[in-house]
Amino acid sequence: MATIEFWYEFASTYSYPAAMRIEEIAAQNRINVKWRPFLLGPIFKQQGWTTSPFKVYPEKGEYMWRDVERICQFQKIPFTRPSSFPQNSVLAARLALCPDVSAHHHEFAKLVYTAEFAEQKDISLPETLATILTSMNIDAQQSLEQATSPNANEPKGRVAMPAMTFRFTTEVEMTLSGDSYEDIYLSFKDFMHGKQPVENPSQISVYPPESDQMFFHLDNETTTYEIPYFKGGFSEDIGRYCGNRPLKAAPVV
């Protein structure tokens, strides 16, 4: 039977409906699920954010809440906007890695998500998590002591963001990153067609070169490929060079 890894963050709104359904869908397709908690906080910090981007950009946040509400309504999953957001999920994630809890990982995760996104409870509080553990007949005091000890397992993981470097001449190149190689390719295609200039960190606009000859390489590789000036789609121009690497951003240990 095949196995997939399900990376999730307890404070993530979109992880909630996914976590509530993944075991059922996996079972229907004869797939095992390995639950892997990770933390978004360190990733946000790398971007210069001190909180969720849904708080940094209020318009994006309001759309997200309406979108999650629609998803949950469609999937018949109870949903109530949390009283605080984002919630600190470090303790819950550490608990998920404790021996007694990890043996019932998916049950614990679903109960934590339900407490947060359906019952408006604060999952950063030890008492909230203790109630969940007790309902599972797990020794709450022992598990909480394990999760808060200096030797506690830390939720690990980072998001590998695909990147592509485009070179027009031996002197000029630009590197773009995004959620997937295809997203990067489409952004670069718009740039080359003059639809959208690309802003670099110095806020200097870069515009398309006049030459038709251009090359690219993926991530930190040294192998360079020539682009036939967008004569095909993503598969023809870029995808065939990606090999077996993940085409989309994905958490990795």
For 146-157, the pLDDT digits (tens) are: 999 887 776 765
pLDDT in the model for residue 204:
45
Q: Which domain holds residue 113?
A: 2-148
pTM, rounded to two decimals: 0.64
Main-chain phi, psi angles of 160, to 5 degrees: -85, 110
- Please list, in sequence order, all residues whose beta carbon lies within 8 angstroms of the beta carbon of residue 68, skipping any fewer than 6 positions away: 13, 14, 16, 17, 79
- How far CA 64 is from CA of 13, 61, 117, in Å, comes to 8, 5, 14
Q: Are residues 28 and 70 in the same domain?
A: yes
Token pair 């407490």 is found at 115
pLDDT band at 191 (very low <50, low <70, confident <90, very high): confident
pLDDT in the model for residue 170:
54
Is residue 209 within 8 Å of residue 169, measured between CB atoms?
A: yes
* pLDDT, tens digit, 9 for 90 and up, residues 118-134: 999 999 999 999 999 99
- How far CA 34 is from CA of 27, 106, 157, in Å, comes to 13, 9, 14
Q: Distance (Å, rounded) from C-alpha 246 to C-alpha 253?
A: 14
Q: Of 141, 140, 108, give the one whose Cα is nearest residue 37.
A: 108
pLDDT in the model for residue 143:
94
Beta bridge partners of residue 5, listed in sequence order: 34
* pLDDT, tens digit, 9 for 90 and up, residues 33-51: 999 998 888 878 877 888 9
How many residues are there in the chain? 253
- The mean per-residue pLDDT over the stretch 13-32 comes to 94
In this structure, what token pair is assigned to residue 21?
A: 């359904």
Is residue 120 within 8 Å of residue 114, measured between CB atoms?
A: no
Is pLDDT above 50 for 193? Answer: yes
* pLDDT, tens digit, 9 for 90 and up, residues 83-121: 899 999 999 999 999 999 999 999 999 999 999 999 999
Q: Are residues 91 and 128 in the same domain?
A: yes
Final residue before a domain boundary, out of 119, 148, 177 = 148
Is residue 77 within 8 Å of residue 3, measured between CB atoms?
A: no
Q: Distance (Å, rounded) from C-alpha 133 to C-alpha 92?
A: 11
- The one-letter code for the residue type at 174 is M
* pLDDT, tens digit, 9 for 90 and up, residues 197-244: 555 444 444 455 555 566 777 776 777 777 765 556 666 667 666 665
- Residue 153, domain member (yes or no): no
- Residue 63, domain member (yes or no): yes
Query: Long-range CB contacts (< 8 A, 24+ apart) of 70-76?
Result: 71/14, 71/17, 72/16, 72/17, 75/17, 75/20, 75/21
- Residue 154, domain member (yes or no): no
Q: Are residues 67 and 94 in the same domain?
A: yes
- Residue 37, domain member (yes or no): yes
Q: Distance (Å, rounded) from C-alpha 146 to C-alpha 16?
A: 25
Q: Are residues 121 and 175 in the same domain?
A: no
Q: Are residues 47 and 83 in the same domain?
A: yes
